Amino acid sequence: MSKTAAKALTTKILGDAAENHALSQVAFAGMPGTKMPDNWKGYDFAVCEAG
């Protein structure tokens, strides 16, 4: 694997991890949400308001 491909893969993994971490934090706060499919323009995850 080239360095460029490895860097892109690492960036993707870190980005996905950050999205999942943020989603877990809002879930712990009682707001349901979901991670959106990759490459959805303008959306990483969607969260519903509590209540």
Question: pTM surpassing 0.85?
Answer: no
Helical ranges in 1-49 per DSSP H = 3-28
Residue 6: pLDDT above 80?
Answer: no
Q: Work out the average pLDDT over 12-38.
A: 91
With CA atoms as reference, report the closest residue to 47 among 29, 34, 30.
34
Which DSSP category does 40 fall into? -
Express each pLDDT in 37-51 by its tens digit.
988 888 888 998 866
Q: Extract the tokens encoding 9.
A: 């893969």
